[in-house]
Amino acid sequence: EPEVTQTPSHQVTQMGQEVILRCVPISNHLYFYWYRQILGQKVEFLVSFYNNEISEKSEIFDDQFSVERPDGSNFTLKIRSTKLEDSAMYFCASRGAGTNSNQPQHFGDGTRLSIL
Amino acid sequence: AQSVTQPDIHITVSEGASLELRCNYSYGATPYLFWYVQSPGQGLQLLLKYFSGDTLVQGIKGFEAEFKRSQSSFNLRKPSVHWSDAAEYFCAVGAQDKLTFGGGTRVLVKP
């Protein structure tokens, strides 16, 4: 069964540095997402992306964050000038075509980001 | 604003016993509802989904869930749990392409 792939599985970065989290969505999917889960807290929506632009973002997703689909297969989340509170598990998800949410989102295994 | 509540943080169940995980949601229209499972060190795997139609939905691994509009609930059930069902379970509501998750319920299975 096709799956969403995320790399790396664990990223350790010094505070203030930039980090790029990478995702390869399922190949025929058109909608892409990032979520995060701070340890002990809920999974939170960050951003959705469709047709090469952001379709919705949460208040968490400020100017520190950006997303990009640099080619036909990758979907990246960049965090500039990382802070301690950015430490979390970051999940990428994708879904196929369909109105609103009537196609389920499929999630990757996540990247655990640790900011030191 | 949409929200999801999973009242039980932990549930311990004996292997072979039945399991029910509670989920209550708040949403202004007909919700799209999901249950995901997360095993240790792994991502979120979709168990089942409700979009419309039959309010009792069947999922993978022998799970089912029932949508009750009058109670704003979407509880997950399994008649007989296996040791491999030990994991964390998340209920989610989706709208406008954004999923809102509950806090999760961690299920422990006793031999």
pLDDT band per the 50, 70, 90 thresholds, residue A99: low
Indicate the range of A43-47, A104-108, A110-114, B107-111 predicted with least confidence: A104-108
Read off the pLDDT of residues B87-103 as tens digits, 9 standing for 90 and up: 999 999 986 578 999 99
For residue A85, report the phi and psi dihedrals to the nearest 5 degrees: -75, 0
| Pairing mode, strands B98-101 and B24-26 | unpaired
- CB within 8 Å of A45: residues ≥ 6 apart: A33, A35, A58, B98, B99, B100
| For residue A37, pLDDT beyond 80 | yes
pLDDT > 70: what percent of chain A?
96
Q: Which of A42, A45, A91 sits opposite B44 (nearest CB)?
A: A91
pLDDT surpasses 70 at A36: yes
Choose among A41, A102, A106: nearest Cβ to B32.
Answer: A102
**Tens of pLDDT, residues B5-55:** 999 999 999 999 999 999 999 987 778 899 999 988 788 999 999 988 889
Predicted local confidence at residue B95, as pLDDT: 66
* pLDDT score, position A100: 52
pLDDT band at B106 (very low <50, low <70, confident <90, very high): very high
**Residue that wins the pLDDT comparison between B1 and A21:** A21
- Which chain A residues are closer than 8 Å to B90 by Cβ? 43
Find chain B residues with C-beta within 8 A of A55's C-beta.
Answer: 97
CB pairs under 8 A between A and B: 62
List CB contacts of B10: < 8 A, sequence separation 6 or more.
B105, B106, B107, B108
Confidence of residue A98 (pLDDT cuts 50, 70, 90): low
Q: Which two tokens stand for residue A88?
A: 């979390």
Mutation for B interface: A29, A32, A95, A105, most B CBs within 10 A: A105
Question: Nearest residue on chain B to A35, judged by CA atoms?
Answer: B99
pLDDT at residue A101 is higher than 80: no
